[in-house]
Structure formats: C-alpha cells, structure tokens
Amino acid sequence: MSTPAPVLALLGGTFDPIHYGHLRAAWEAAEQLDAQVCLMPANVPPHRPQPRLSAEQRVQLLELALAGQQRLALDTRELRRDGPSYTVDTLRELREEIGAARPLVLLLGTDAFAGLPSWSRWLQLFELAHIGVMTRPGAAPALSPELHAQFLARACAVDGDWRGQGAGRILSLDITDLDISATGIRNLLARGQEPRFLLPEAVLAQIRQRGWYR
C-alpha cells in the first residue's frame, strides 16, 4: 500500500500583527492533524478595514515569529495577487499545484467560521479543502441555518476517516484558550502601553523600533 500524502493545512489571516493566539493555534492544529501548517497573510483582506501595516511589514513580523522551527511555514502566495484575497481563488491555485487527492485543511477560528456564508463562492470551499474549526475564547458565534446544515452534513472527528479524502469535511479542533487579538495589541500600542508576552519578543522589538501602530 502506498503511504498517504502528508496533510497540508493553511491558516490565512491579516496578521496585523502576528501574535501567540495565532502561533499556538497553528502549532496545536499541526500536532492534532499531523500536518505542516502554512501561515498565509492576506494581501487585501476581504470584508474588513484594511490593515495598519503593509503586506511587506506584516511578512517581516511573520518571518521573525516563525524563525527557529520548521513545522509552521510562511506562504506568501496571496501577496502576488492584486485585488481582494478571496480564499476560493487561493485554494484553486494551490489545488493545481498539489493535485486533487492530497488532504488540505483550511484552518479558521470559530469567529471566522461563523462568517463563512458571507465569503466569496463559499460553498466551493468544501470542494477544495477540509475546514478545521479552531476554538477561540469568547462566546462561539451562532451559525446561520445554511452553515449549520453544512456542519451537520460534513462534521468528522479528528481521528476519523477524512485523511482518505482531499476535501469536504469539517473538523473541530480544541485549542488552548488564549484570549489574544491583534486588535487588543494595536490598542495597547496606540495608548503607549506594552503588549509584552502577547506576541514574540522579536516581533514586539521590531514594532517598537519602527514605531508601528502608534
């Protein structure tokens, strides 16, 4: 029997800036799924005010945060496209590279998952990837009836049989609660306070040296 292709997982985000909530969630997802996880910054994030830092600045911070380990990688493919970074376009491009069979998991926090029906061509996402829903502190937002129906039809245990398929299942991932958000970090910096221990020291040092988010 041939060895199954390794699982690839993607955590897309604005990462304005990257923080320990992202990093720990990505790490635990990598362990639970036995996957390589790529952090993928959006160039022009759809559905939200545009980031304070440019894509290049956010990538600099991601590189500092990811230094010294191999399991979490950086995927900058969305920075090569102009216009809104629609995830469905990104997954289609990635599928052309990796083929239809390799299990691909799109990781989303519970907040992002609840917003899925507002995403561009959202039902096509299930043809392109599994969705890994990561717990995030705070009340879990209610799911719309259409998303709830998809959840019921597609839910699969993490130790279930999803690895035999490239896409289409919804996996629930229990992640250590870290109540950290990029908004909270930006607010602290804007008030002249230090968001120490909420993000890697090298990331904070770079933000302070450049005077970002003041």
Ligand X SMILES: Nc1ncnc2c1ncn2[C@@H]1O[C@H](COP(=O)(O)OP(=O)(O)OP(=O)(O)O)[C@@H](O)[C@H]1O
Ligand Y SMILES: O=C(O)c1ccc[n+]([C@@H]2O[C@H](COP(=O)([O-])O)[C@@H](O)[C@H]2O)c1
Q: Would you tell me which residues interact with ligand Y (CB under 6 A)?
A: 12-14, 42, 45-48, 85-88, 112, 119-120
Any contact of residue 74 with ligand X (CB under 6 A)?
Answer: no
CA quadruple 61, 64, 65, 69: dihedral, nearest 10 = 150
13 by DSSP, 3-state: which? strand
- Element holding 209 (H helix, E strand): helix 201-210
Closer of 69 and 118 to ligand Y (Cβ): 118
From the CB of 111, what's the least distance to ligand X, in Å?
5
Residues in 100-159 that interact with ligand X by CB under 6 A: 108-109, 111-112, 134, 136
Cβ–Cβ < 8 Å for 180, 20: yes
Instruction: Quote the CA–CA distance of 19 and 22 in Å, as a whole number.
Output: 6
Residues in Cβ contact with 197 at an 8 Å cutoff, skipping those fewer than 6 apart? 20
Measured from the CB of residue 86, what is the shortest distance to ligand Y in angstroms?
A: 4
Which residue minimizes CB distance to ligand X? 109
182 binds, among ligand X, ligand Y, none (CB under 5 to 8 A by kind): ligand X
Q: Under the rule (CB under 6 A), what is the footprint of ligand X?
A: 11, 13-16, 21-22, 25, 108-109, 111-112, 134, 136, 175, 178, 180-183
